[in-house]
Amino acid sequence: MRHPNRPLFKSRESQNHGGWFSIVSIIFPLLISGIVFFIYYYILQKDIFPQWIEYIYLTAKVIIVLELIIASMRSLFGPIIAIALGFLNLYQIQTTGLAPLSSNDAWQLIIAGAFGFLITIVVKVFKNRG
C-alpha cells in the first residue's frame, strides 16, 4: 500500500530543462527564427512581393530578434548561437565575399546576442533568488 502523501509518479518539475545551458528550451525559438529567415529569402529570390520586400525584411529582423530575446530568457545558448553566427558570417564575408547576411546585419546579430547575455544573466539570477 502506498503512502497517501506520496505521488504515484515522480514529479519532473526539478528537471524542467531550465538551466543556464539548456538546449531543449530554445529549440522552438530557433526553429521559428530559421523558418522566418527561409521565408524571407524565398520571397526575395522568387521576387514575389517586390514592392513590400523592405517591410518583409524589417519584419523578419524584428521577429528574429524577439525570438532571440525569448531564447535568451530560457538559456545561454541562444546568445551564444547568435554571436557565433554573426562572427561566422563576418568571417565568410572576409574570406569568400559571399554570405547570407550583410556585414551590418551580422553586427546587429552580434549586438543582439550580447544583449541576450545580459538578459540571460538577469533572468537566471532573479529566478534563483525568488
Structural domain contains residue 78: yes
C-alpha cell at 61: 529582423
**Per-residue pLDDT at 13:** 46
Closest CA to 101 of 116, 90, 110: 90
| pTM of the predicted protein model | 0.80
**Per-residue pLDDT at 11:** 47
**Would you give the DSSP letter of residue 99?**
-
Structural domain contains residue 1: no
Determine phi and psi for 59, rounding to 5 degrees.
-65, -40
Between the two ends of the chain, the Cα-to-Cα distance in Å is 37
Structural domain contains residue 6: no
Consecutive 10-residue runs of the chain (130 residues): their mean pLDDT? 57 57 90 96 94 96 95 92 95 92 94 95 82
**Per-residue pLDDT at 7:** 56
Structural domain contains residue 19: no
Closest CA to 40 of 54, 26, 29: 54
Structural domain contains residue 80: yes
**Per-residue pLDDT at 93:** 95
Structural domain contains residue 96: yes
SS3 of residue 56 by DSSP = helix
Structural domain contains residue 4: no
Structural domain contains residue 2: no
Which range of residues forms the domain containing residue 38? 25-129
**Per-residue pLDDT at 124:** 87
**Total count of domains within the chain:** 1
Q: Is 17 left (phi over 0), alpha (psi -120 to 50) or beta?
A: left
